[in-house]
Amino acid sequence: MPAQAIILAAGRGQRLRPLTDHTPKPLLSVGRWRLIEWHLRALARAGVREVVINTAWLEPQFPAALGQGEAHGVHIHWSHEARDHGAALETAGGIRKALPLLDDVFWVVSGDVFIPDMVFNVPARHYLGDSDASACLWMVPNAPHHPSGDFGWAGEGQPLHLEAPRMTWASVGVFEARAFRDLPLGQAHALRPVLDEALTQARLLGRTLPGRWVDVGTEERLAQARAIADAEPDR
């Protein structure tokens, strides 16, 4: 079966060194689970059973830690970028490589954000509806470490733009495979140009992320995520 979600886990995690010198950031512990396991369990609760994880930095640690996902109620499809290409392919390049494993519409979530209140239990294609949109991004208020935000906000389910007021992309969204099919396979490619192309054509929708969001990019924010997780009920 094609996967309905991809978790992006190939990055180096430079800002969290030395913690990430020996452990990939998505495998850092946050409460009772590793950071990436919160996503796996949330997807499984929503009925998303097929999940791709792309890897590069300290790649062998991922299958060793997660197996095929059976402990969390999912089946993991691995997309190994270091093994196949020698290095990470950046976000869009990594998604392009994984397209043969993915459905035509799929969830994308970064392995280094903590979003314990996110619910995935509506099919991904629902968020694009009958529109010509190729992506829908979940947005949050601008954090102190990113005060300028990413995209202009026009209202729930409306196309994003570049004017104020701006909000920050929470690194979770729904994408159509067609947004990546024309990218060169096996080459590094950033996601922002893909988003900008959709933006100029009013094909990039926005929704507000429910609940809490932590971009786990520093030790301080890792501690913040851990404090939230320690107070969570077992689930």
Residue range 143-180, pLDDT digits in tens: 988 999 999 999 999 999 988 899 999 999 999 999 99
Residue 56 lies in a domain: yes
**Residue 88 is part of which domain span?**
3-230
> Six-digit token pair at 178?
């067609």
> Six-digit token pair at 195?
């988003």
pLDDT value of residue 123: 80
**pTM value surpassing 0.85:** yes
Name the average pLDDT for the chain. Answer: 93
- Strands 75-80 and 50-55 come out as parallel
pLDDT value of residue 19: 84
Output 232 or 120, whichever has higher pLDDT: 120
Q: Number of folded domains in the chain?
A: 1
Residue 223 lies in a domain: yes
Distance, CA of 215 to CA of 217 (rounded, Å): 6
Cβ(194)–Cβ(97) below 8 Å: no
The burial class, CB within 10 Å (0-12 / 13-18 / 19+), for 52 is buried
54-66: per-residue pLDDT in tens? 999 999 999 999 9
- CATH number of the domain residue 223 falls in: 3.90.550.10
Summarize the confidence of residues 121-130 as an average pLDDT: 83
Residue 67 lies in a domain: yes
Residue 235 lies in a domain: no
Residue 107 lies in a domain: yes
Least-confidence region, from 19-33, 119-133, 196-210: 119-133
Does the structure show a pLDDT above 70 at 53? yes
Distance, CA of 106 to CA of 175 (rounded, Å): 6
Residue 140 lies in a domain: yes
Beta-bridge partner residues of 207: 138
Say what the alpha-carbon torsion angle 81, 85, 90, 93 is, to the nearest 10 degrees. -90
